[in-house]
């Protein structure tokens, strides 16, 4: 990893050791629980008058002023203020050419699915009722795990950079398998087969779901399902026979469903690997470690807790730009992109005429046939069979490949 991403690797740290050190430091510190404890720690046990004077002079209420600007506390995903448009925020003459140009650019960008944005926070409702809290403060560590899409080589031979995907908060007592079950990926619980000849056929059920975390020269395999294969076996075999530089590395294997985060020793900030679905790779880093406190979520069932997600994770149709893609088209001479991501409407209307495949291409569907269909898509799907029985001798209005008659009737 350090050779591929040019990131220096720091000395691995033990999460269990960090927790023990936190607890040891806390035991050395005495936290006052009432005014008597504060007065005693200040050495004013018999100076009640002086203590009351100091207390009143340092009150936080003295910091308030009627003329202060109101500051709203920032909570990711939650805001009590309604966002204003560019026009509402204008305090200068709106007739200026520069202002008119700004308004035009802003209005054109609103709603565009192709605009890249910063990390958007997914709102997670944390229970505020103390009765729901089942974790004791300072009893565990909270570990931030950030996932990235790895960099790849594009057809133009330009190397892309890792892109942030999502971030989780994990307890030291969480198993690695609990985190794996919450990782978002289009490949989760799906098998993809080429279906361009019959776009209505369903993808077969996925009976096994192997995968592993590669952390500090150890493969943590998911063996909850006996049918899961050990993906790391072929990698370890290759390292033993084909490469001299890796023969001395003591690669180990463990089961992720039996390994807790507290048992790990990792290099903070250094990229690790999660791989599943054959060759679907996700990079991740252990970015931050803190002690569980009253300011963090104290509900065990919510962990691993999704903290943030990249808003650009969702891809939209390359043709209409309005709906999420359902089909992936490859090796098509009629598409500008390879692979091309298309919704059901654009895929069926552009690649099929009279219910028959136009030109050569490979197609894969990422969801069930009737999943994620709106009214418009349902109409096209239902009428696709109507054109399957059309007599081929009937002359078409337009020759050559092009949008199907389904689109014309709509």
267 and 162 fall within a common domain: yes
Q: Convert the pLDDT of each residue in 72-83 to its tens digit.
A: 655 544 444 444
Sign of CA dihedral 294, 287, 306, 72: positive
Residue 3, pLDDT > 80, answer no
Residues 6 or more apart whose Cβ sits within 8 Å of residue 242: none
**Which of the two residues, 217 and 239, has the higher pLDDT score?**
217
Distances (CA, A) of 155 to 160, 286, 360: 11, 32, 21
pLDDT band of residue 398 (cuts 50, 70, 90) is very low
Is residue 110 domain-resident?
Answer: no
Average pLDDT over residues 333-345: 86
- In whole angstroms, give the CA distance from residue 241 to residue 235: 10
Q: Characterise 354 by phi-psi region: left (phi > 0), alpha (psi -120 to 50), beta (else).
A: left
Strand order in the sheet with 362-365: 340-342, 327-330, 362-365
Residues 368 and 275 in one domain: no
Query: Which of residues 202 and 75 earns the better pLDDT score?
Result: 202
Specify if 89 maps to a domain. no
- Return the DSSP state at 75: B
pLDDT of residue 80: 44
Query: Based on the domain organization, do 244 and 267 belong to the same domain?
Result: yes
Task: Yes or no: say if 203 and 365 are a contact pair by the CB < 8 Å rule.
Answer: yes
- The mean per-residue pLDDT over the stretch 172-185 comes to 93
Closest CA to 178 of 262, 236, 266: 262
* Alpha carbon distance 271, 165 (integer Å): 14
* Cα–Cα dist 4/12, whole Å: 19
Look up residue 160 and give its DSSP letter: P
Q: Is residue 320 part of a domain?
A: no
Q: What share of the chain is helix, strand, coil (3-state, %, to 5)?
A: 30, 20, 50
For residues 272 and 354, membership in a common domain is answered with no
Q: How many domains does one find in the chain?
A: 2
Find tokens 């009629």 and name the residue. Answer: 334
Q: Is the same domain home to 302 and 376?
A: no
Q: Is there a single domain that holds both residue 333 and residue 294? A: no
CATH number of domain containing 181: 3.10.290
Please report whether residue 389 resides in a domain.
Answer: yes
Name the residue with higher pLDDT: 15 or 188. 15
Q: Is the per-residue pLDDT at 340 higher than 50?
A: yes
Q: Are residues 250 and 171 in the same domain?
A: yes
**Across 382-404, average pLDDT:** 42
Statement to judge: residues 269 and 339 lie in one domain: no
Of 148, 149, 222, 234, the closest CA to residue 189 belongs to 222
Q: Are residues 336 and 254 in the same domain?
A: no
373 φ/ψ angles, rounded to the nearest 5 degrees: -105, 125
Stronger pLDDT, 145 or 402, i.e. the higher one: 145
Q: pLDDT band at 129, cuts 50/70/90?
A: confident
pLDDT value of position 16: 93
Q: How long, in residues, is the chain?
A: 410
Is 256 within the bounds of a domain? yes
Say if 73 falls within a structural domain.
Answer: no
Domain enclosing residue 338, as ranges: 327-409
**Is 42 contained in some domain?**
no
Q: Report the C-alpha gap between 220 and 212 in whole angstroms.
A: 5
Residues 270 and 381 in one domain: no
Q: Using one digit for the tens of pLDDT, what is the confidence trace for 225-246? A: 988 888 888 888 887 776 666 6
Q: What is the pLDDT of residue 99?
A: 75
* Dihedral pair phi/psi, residue 272, rounded to 5°: -115, 180
Q: Helices (DSSP H) in 209-325: which residue ranges?
A: 232-241
In this predicted structure, the answer to whether residue 120 has a pLDDT above a threshold of 60 is no
Asked if residue 392 and residue 268 are part of one domain, the reply reads: no
| pLDDT (tens digit per residue) in 42-55 | 888 878 888 888 88
Nearest Cα to Cα of residue 124 among 290, 300, 308, 298? 308
**Between 288 and 95, the higher pLDDT residue:** 288
Residue 78 lies in a domain: no
The mean of the pLDDT values for the chain is 76
The pLDDT-based confidence of 379 (bands split at 50, 70, 90) is low
Of 115-129, 165-179, 316-330, which range is least confident? 115-129
Q: By percentage, how much of the chain surpasses pLDDT 90?
A: 19
Pick the last residue of a domain from 288, 313, 338. 313
Alpha helices in 147-254 (DSSP H): 176-180, 232-241
> Do residues 190 and 159 lie in contact, with contact meaning Cβ atoms separated by under 8 Å?
no
Mean per-residue pLDDT, 79-106: 62
The pLDDT assigned to 185 comes to 83
Q: Are residues 344 and 273 in the same domain?
A: no
Domain end (from 285, 313, 341): 313
Place of tokens 């350090």: 2
State which of 259, 281, 313 marks the end of a domain.
313
């Amino acid at each position: 990893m350090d050779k591929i991403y040019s990131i220096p690797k720091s000395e691995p740290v033990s999460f269990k050791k960090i927790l023990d050190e936190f607890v040891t430091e806390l035991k050395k510190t005495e936290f006052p629980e009432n005014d008597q404890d504060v007065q005693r720690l200040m050495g004013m046990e018999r100076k009640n008058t002086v203590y009351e004077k100091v207390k009143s002079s340092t009150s936080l209420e003295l910091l308030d002023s009627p003329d202060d600007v109101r500051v709203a506390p920032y909570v990711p995903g939650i805001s009590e203020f309604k966002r204003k448009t560019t026009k509402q925020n204008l305090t200068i003459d709106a007739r200026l050419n520069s202002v008119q140009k700004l308004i035009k650019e802003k209005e054109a960008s609103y709603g565009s699915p192709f605009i890249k944005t910063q990390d958007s926070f997914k709102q997670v409702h944390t229970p505020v009722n103390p009765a729901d809290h089942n974790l004791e403060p300072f009893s565990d560590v909270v570990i931030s795990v950030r996932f990235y899409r790895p960099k790849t080589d594009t057809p133009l031979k330009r190397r892309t950079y890792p892109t942030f995907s999502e971030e989780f908060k994990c307890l030291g007592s969480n198993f690695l398998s609990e985190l794996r079950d919450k990782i978002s990926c289009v490949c989760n619980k799906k098998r993809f087969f080429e279906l361009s000849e019959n776009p209505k056929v369903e993808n077969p059920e996925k009976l096994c779901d192997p995968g592993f975390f590669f952390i500090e020269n150890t493969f943590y395999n998911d063996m909850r399902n006996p049918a899961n294969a050990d993906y790391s076996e072929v990698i370890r075999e290759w390292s033993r026979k084909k490469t001299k530089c890796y023969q001395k590395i003591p690669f180990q294997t463990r089961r992720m469903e039996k390994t807790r985060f507290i048992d790990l020793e990792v290099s903070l900030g250094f990229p690790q690997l999660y791989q599943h679905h054959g060759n679907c790779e996700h990079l991740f880093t252990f970015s931050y470690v803190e002690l569980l406190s009253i300011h963090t979520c104290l509900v065990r069932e919510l962990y691993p807790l999704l903290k943030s997600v990249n808003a650009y994770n969702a891809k939209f149709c390359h043709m209409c730009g309005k709906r999420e893609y359902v089909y992936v088209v490859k090796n098509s001479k009629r598409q500008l992109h390879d692979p091309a991501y298309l919704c059901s409407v654009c895929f069926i209307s552009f690649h099929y005429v009279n219910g028959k495949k136009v030109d050569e291409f490979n197609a894969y569907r990422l969801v069930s046939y009737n999943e994620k269909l709106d009214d418009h898509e349902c109409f096209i799907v239902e009428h696709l069979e109507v054109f399957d029985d059309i007599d081929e001798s009937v002359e078409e209005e337009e020759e050559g490949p092009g949008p199907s008659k389904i689109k014309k009737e709509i």
